Amino acid sequence: MKILAIDTSCDDTSVAISDGLNILANVFWSKMKLHSDWGGVVPIEAKRQHEQFLDPAIQECLKQANLKLEQIDYIAITYGPGLAIALEAGITKAKELSKTYNKKIVAVNHMIGHVYSVLARDNEGNPISDLHDFEFPLLALTISGGHTDMYLMTDHLKFQNIGQTLDDSVGEAIDKVGRMLGMGFPAGAKIEESAKKGDASKFKFPRPLSDSMDLNWSFSGLKTAVLYQVRKIVGDYSHKPQKGDFKLEDASDMLDENTIYDISASFQQAAIDSLLIKVEKALKNHKPKMLVVGGGVIANKTLRDQLDTLTKKYSTPLFFPKPIWLCTDNASMIAVAGYFYAKENRFVKNLDELDRVPALTI
């Protein structure tokens, strides 16, 4: 089964072609560098980029896979969650291809894509992340810029939400702390690099909700605690926000290098502990056959190592997408999830009803 997948949920334009779970081609176009100056994604720029690069990306993918569009069986498209106008660019293209080439569409939830990214195989059929198939019940953790959620899966595509953040996602907290420390956007890799040189026990940051019985998280309070620590060190550096004033929280000029390293390390450990406390509760309560983690934040190696230690304690196998490109947004995971949607006959019945759902949940 050959699937052409498109993901335009945020600022990366990604197109992939798979044969079953085997990824034959995956093409990215990212303008991340242009966004980092001021600290975020510019939605309208992302949309323009998608519109401009979707066609060449599709052509490049077909070339790499040595296929023609006529030979594709189905189209898989991300319909949410994500930035509304960015999602729309991909959906419009998918509908156009569907009509021109008479192909059925599967509309894929981007977050389900992140969970399924671990099942991607290379073009020879070898599992890229050393996992052949899911075993249920499965515990799935999705951690990214917009999400911090935990699910219990009882079968393929059957999800039960058992935990989520009550305010900010972990990725958002990382990016906002990164901004205070002058690291630009996205800040994940830079925080981790900086944390390596710092002392994680130097500052006492909270692990919000760690005593609560449920499996929910809160990262807003952790972010604010870091802000207060920074203020305590440099004196109150903020002023009332003015119109057109975007950089009010960057305090990096007033902090010495070692302090930035220590804040990074202490914050990173608090964020990891917060995640792990609830993952451990879920391992105890639900005794899953395996833990699967997806989303951009699992690119963090310190988190990977500590999750590994934790899951070993419970003899629960741990899987996450090994290469970084499979952790962050990509169309391969949409192709892989799309394969399971197609196997279950979950096609879009009426093209006119296919619409973006920016706040889509699982």
Partner 1 sequence: MFEFEIKSEKDMKMVVDEVLSFYSGESLILNCIGDLGTGKTTFTKYLAKELGVTNIVISPTFIIQKEYQGHHDQKKVNLQHIDMYRLVNEYELDEIKLKSIFKPNTIVVIEWANKFLDYIEKLAIETGSKVYYLYFEHVDIETRKVYLKKIEIN
Residues that bind partner 1 (CB under 8 A): 38, 40-44, 47, 81-85, 145-146, 164-169, 171-172, 176, 180, 220, 223-225, 227-228, 238, 240-246, 248-249, 358-359
- In the bound state with partner 1, the residue whose beta carbon lies nearer, of 78 and 311, is 78
- Least separation in angstroms between CB 337 and partner 1: 20
CA–CA dist 280, 269 (Å, integer): 16
- Least separation in angstroms between CB 91 and partner 1: 16
- In the bound state with partner 1, the residue whose beta carbon lies nearer, of 164 and 316, is 164
- In the bound state with partner 1, the residue whose beta carbon lies nearer, of 67 and 227, is 227
- In the bound state with partner 1, the residue whose beta carbon lies nearer, of 129 and 224, is 224
- In the bound state with partner 1, the residue whose beta carbon lies nearer, of 19 and 149, is 149
- In the bound state with partner 1, the residue whose beta carbon lies nearer, of 84 and 157, is 84
- Least separation in angstroms between CB 45 and partner 1: 9
CA–CA dist 337, 76 (Å, integer): 9
Residue 274: partners with Cβ closer than 8 Å, 6 or more residues away: 170, 207, 208, 209, 210, 217, 219, 222
- Least separation in angstroms between CB 176 and partner 1: 6
Residue type, 77: I
- Least separation in angstroms between CB 85 and partner 1: 6
- In the bound state with partner 1, the residue whose beta carbon lies nearer, of 171 and 184, is 171
- Least separation in angstroms between CB 144 and partner 1: 8
- Least separation in angstroms between CB 249 and partner 1: 6
